[in-house]
């Protein structure tokens, strides 16, 4: 009996105790994830209420009055709300690791969809013109494409000062170039000065050059210290990866069309300036 008591006492004494500080260290990520989960649930409930109210409004409009412009706009609003809600829900359900608000691409796609929901609704009710609403769609695709580029650049970062500065500089040039393209996408003025297109071209060259310099410096740093190559990579869930691929393909097509249009606009502006100068 005494031996068994000693053994039990020794087991109790040697049992690992959780330090008080360690509990607080592991508590923070769990609290963050649960907080993000609560935000998702709150957004879903808000979405459900909005869909219900919109459907109820359209049913009342159809039963009470005849089919007119107001009912047509209401039905178009319902379609916009349902289609965008499905896309937003797909992103929320695919985000099993609670990366919304942290990952650049998924956060930008989600924000662009929500913003397009607002601007499309304003366009449906003619608060803004249809052409303005479509220009905002182009701006959202510009932002999404920029998010893909920035995310790719951030993956080049290494814990080495020179390479880190080069990547941050490249990201800065990309952001400035995207901001410079915003007035053209939104068609702020009817005819842009040729100087504007030269500035955009110069910024694009600087962005490309800084990207190549970042690649070279990363290669030099990793060749000198192979340990720097061991970067923590986060695997994407299959659902989110599918969304990234589909949105990426659509964005790439949109960017190619926009690039052709930008070059054409620049050529037209340059030709018109030469014509005025010759006259």
User: pLDDT tens, 152-195?
Assistant: 998 888 777 888 899 999 999 999 999 999 999 999 988 899 99
Rounded (5°) CA angle 146-151-152: 100
Tens of pLDDT, residue by residue, the chain (279 residues):
445 444 444 444 444 444 444 444 344 555 555 655 666 677 777 777 777 877 777 677 667 765 677 777 877 888 888 888 888 888 988 888 888 888 999 999 999 999 999 999 999 988 999 999 999 999 999 999 999 999 999 888 877 788 889 999 999 999 999 999 999 999 998 889 999 999 999 999 999 999 999 989 888 877 777 666 665 566 788 889 999 999 999 999 999 999 999 999 998 887 776 565 555
User: Could you give phi then psi for residue 102, rounded to 5 degrees?
Assistant: -115, -50
Q: What's the pLDDT at 31? A: 53
One DSSP character per residue, the chain reads: -HHHHHHHHHHHHHSPPPPHHHHHHHHHHHHHHHHHHHHHHHHHHHHHHHHHHHHHHHHHHHHHS-S-HHHHHHHHHHHHHHHHHHHHHHHHHH-TT--TTTSHHHHHHHHHHHHHHHHHHHHHTTSS-HHHHHHHHHHHHHHHHHHHHHHHHHTT--SSHHHHHHHHHHHHHHHHHHHHHHHHHHT-SSS--HHHHHHHHHHHHHHHHHHHHHHHHHHHHHHH-GGGG----PPPPHHHHHHHHHHHHHHHHHHHHHHHHHHHHHHHHHHHHHHHHH-
One DSSP character per residue, 166-235 reads: HHHHHHHHHHHHHHHHHHHHHT-SSS--HHHHHHHHHHHHHHHHHHHHHHHHHHHHHHH-GGGG----PP
Tally of CA atoms within 13 A in the half-sphere of 173 that contains its CB: 23
Rounded Cα gap, residues 118 and 108, in angstroms:
15
Q: What's the pLDDT at 232? A: 52
Give yes or no for a contact between 56 and 64, defined as CB atoms under 8 angstroms apart. no
């Amino acid at each position: 009996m005494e031996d068994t008591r000693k053994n039990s006492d020794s087991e109790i004494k040697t049992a690992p105790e959780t330090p008080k500080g360690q509990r607080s260290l592991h508590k923070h990520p769990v609290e963050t994830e649960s907080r993000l989960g609560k935000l998702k649930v709150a957004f879903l409930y808000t979405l459900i209420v909005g869909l219900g109210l919109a459907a109820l409004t359209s049913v009342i409009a159809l039963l009470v009055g005849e089919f007119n412009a107001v009912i047509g706009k209401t039905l178009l609003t319902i379609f916009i709300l349902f289609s965008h809600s499905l896309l937003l829900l797909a992103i929320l359900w695919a985000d099993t690791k609670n990366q919304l608000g942290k990952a650049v691409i998924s956060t930008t796609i989600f924000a662009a969809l929500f913003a397009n929901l607002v601007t499309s609704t304003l366009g449906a009710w003619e608060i803004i013109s249809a052409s303005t609403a479509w220009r905002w769609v182009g701006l959202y695709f510009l932002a999404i494409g920029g998010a893909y580029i920035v995310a790719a650049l951030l993956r080049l970062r290494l814990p080495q000062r020179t390479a880190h500065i080069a990547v941050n500089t490249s990201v800065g040039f990309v952001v400035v170039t995207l901001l410079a393209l915003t007035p053209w996408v939104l068609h702020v003025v009817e005819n842009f000065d040729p100087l504007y297109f030269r500035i955009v071209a110069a910024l694009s060259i600087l962005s490309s050059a800084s990207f190549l310099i970042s690649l070279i410096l990363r290669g030099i740093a990793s060749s000198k210290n192979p340990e720097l190559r061991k970067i923590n990579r986060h695997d994407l869930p299959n659902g989110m990866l599918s969304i990234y691929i589909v949105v990426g393909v659509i964005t790439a097509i949109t960017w190619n069309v926009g690039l052709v249009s930008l070059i054409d606009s620049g050529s037209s502006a340059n030709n018109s300036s030469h014509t005025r100068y010759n006259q």
